[in-house]
Amino acid sequence: MSPMNAAGKQNETQSFLAYGPEQREMLFSYFAVSLTVVAFCALLTALLFLTVPADPHDIVCTTASCAALDSLLEASVDWNRPPCTNFYAHVCSGWAQSHNFSVYRSHLHEFIGDVHWILARVLVPSHAQTPPQVVAAFYQSCTAVLVDGADELAPFRRQLQIAGVTWPRVFAKSNLMLTAASVYATFQVTALLRIRSSVRNLSSVLEVAPDETFLRGWRSTRDQLLRSGAYARFFHETKAIYAGNESSPGHLLDYQSFVRVEEVVLATLLQRRPIAGESEVRNIEGLAELTRNVSEMTWRKVAEKLSLSQSARALIINTDYLRQVDELLARVGERLLHYYLGWCVVQQMRRYVNQDLANSWYDYVGASVRPDQPADWKAHTDCMQLTEMLVGKLTFGRFVLWKVDGEDHDYVRTMAEVIARGLVQQVSEKAQWSHQRGRVPVELRDFRLELHVDNMRVVEEALGQRGLANRTSLISNWMDVAAAMSIINDTFRDRISTTYVKDLVARERYSLFDNTSRTLSLAPMFAMLPLYRRQLSDTAKFGALGTLLAKACFEVFLTKLANHSTALDEAFRRLRCFAESAQYRSDHLEIYHSAASFVIALDALRSLGSTDYKRLRMFDSLQSFFVLMCYLLCTPNTSDESIVSEAICNEAVKNSESFAVAFQCAPGTAMNPEKRCRFF
């Protein structure tokens, strides 16, 4: 090795310590500068990464509500069923194979269970009860009869007799109008007529109004029992249980005579179309002139019973209906009409008297309506219905406090308003065929969303003025609560009673359209998964609750076409397009309302300008919207409703270009057909 090479080799192996002080200081400087540059570059890269906005559609929602919703979907979605072939099967196969109830009925069961759990655990003092305690005590005394077997037949019968109800016996001296007024004043129960004291324009009047709601519902029940050949047994069994061993004057009516009376009453008062008479205000003398078979003396006794002055005015709501009742008095006689009024009262109250009468009702009527429900669940729903009848949404007051606050109400109101505005715009711009004399048939005020917040406050104030005399007795509580409700101003009084539970139990699927008011109705169970939780993303909220609101708004629009036959025919023609392209064809066009309307919810979501488009774990943001819409329809394979649910889901998505884009469905696949239906 040459000396030069040897020297080089020695230099290569020289240690850092071998350098001089100036050299070591220079190396330290170079090293420090290099580290600083590297650190600065790393920091700059990190800052750039953090400040570049990520696609909000790619951010997974990680709230507890989203995680719970993810779990529900994970158990339902079947990845072996391609979404572009049969979207309902893709979303619902897991649910359909593992559950005995639909998503809707499972949600309803959970809701009823939660409300019962809350009401049953409220401790009620014997005195100075708060309004929520009064509501809970009323509910508890009801379940004491229906679940625990408390028997209140004797006190019920006694109080009804005091009110004038003599059923099942016929008495020579009967006062139909006085009994109707007394029953309503005592129990807030209406039969044939609603006669009450009412405050109008700061003065008390005698109000006489029809009762068609119960009669129409009862006619349906009666027809069902007649078709099954069970009506005679039902009549005799009811009479035997209610009358018991009681001996009293008056004679019993045989079944054939009873049926003849009932047929005349129903045929007269329930004509094919509701009697649409004018309302009138008269004095008591004028009221007697209208009812030739009811004397002025009788009406004065009614006014006295209701603590009205003899100079009080009478408000007759629907004079034609009152004339029909007056004609019945002449045709069948007051004794028999009074007997039938008693029958109507007993049918409305029988489930709450004792278990024998309740079980008889379930055996003949209730089981055919909901045969798959356990007895306790039926009892809980019946007691909630009764509580609702008297105090309305305050029945769910504690549940609402638990699940909902003002921010939720504001959000849902905004959601409904945005969706309604979108529908009005669609009708205005793309449905000129529906316009009447150049006017759009709907406007924003037609889509009122009733949340009953003010009504709950008014009921609380009324209950706060009156406690319960005997918190364990249903009949006593019923009378105390009815007395408290009677003092409420009529501005709120007729809007207090609600039928949320009754309507929810009767349905097979979610619906936010109220057939009675012809507007939007939001039951308290909305604030539960899978419909709505505040911590869900906007996409999830609009895919679930939003699509239901859109469907309800669409149904409001259709009701506005009821008197415009040409436009209604065109609407049906457009709906038939969805029906004719469906694998399951049905003449019940209402099942295609979702297919025609859900796009309104999607457009409303896009119009929000929201930044909360977070996705669920298994689906991106847009996919989540469609998945949730169909998840609400999931039904077990054993149900007759499964084929209907499949048609509703698939017809909605297959007619949406956005769905084909979201799931990348190839043209010509089942869920991306060449021809699509459009309502607007």
Domains of the chain: 3-51 (no CATH), 64-114+405-444+507-662 (3.40.390.10), 153-353 (1.10.1380.10)
Phi and psi angles of residue 150, each rounded to the nearest 5 degrees, phi first: -60, 140
Q: What percent of the chain has pLDDT over 70?
A: 88
Quick check: 69 and 53 in contact, CB under 8 A? no
Q: Which residues contact 311 (CB under 8 A, 6 or more apart)?
A: 283
Output the pLDDT for position 515: 86
Quick check: 65 and 544 in contact, CB under 8 A? no
Closest CA to 76 of 106, 97, 61: 97
Q: Give rounded-to-5 percent helix, strand, coil for the chain.
A: 65, 5, 30
Closest CA to 581 of 662, 678, 510, 665: 678
Residues in the chain predicted with pLDDT less than 70, given as ranges, are 1-57, 201, 245-250, 272-277, 366-372, 610-612
Rounded to 10°, the helix 547-559/406-430 angle is 50
Output the pLDDT for position 51: 38
Output the pLDDT for position 588: 87
Q: Which residue has the tokens 């708060």?
A: 130
Strands 519-521 and 449-450: parallel
b/e map 540-550, b = 16+ CB within 10 Å: bbbbbbbbbbb
Quick check: 322 and 290 in contact, CB under 8 A? yes
Output the pLDDT for position 7: 43
Output the pLDDT for position 54: 45
Distance between CA 98 and CA 241 in Å, rounded?
42
Q: Which residues contact 238 (CB under 8 A, 6 or more apart)?
A: 346, 350, 357, 360
Given strand 193-200, what is the order of strands in its sheet? Answer: 193-200, 203-210, 313-316, 280-283
Output the pLDDT for position 184: 97
Structure token pair of residue 27: 């190396």
Distance between CA 362 and CA 382 in Å, rounded?
11
Quick check: 480 and 517 in contact, CB under 8 A? no
Output the pLDDT for position 127: 86
Output the pLDDT for position 493: 84
Rounded to 10°, the helix 87-98/642-654 angle is 150
Distance between CA 232 and CA 521 in Å, rounded?
38
Distance between CA 440 and CA 309 in Å, rounded?
49
Distance between CA 14 and CA 19 in Å, rounded?
8
Count of CB atoms situated within 10 Å of the CB of 437 = 4
Distance between CA 644 and CA 590 in Å, rounded?
11
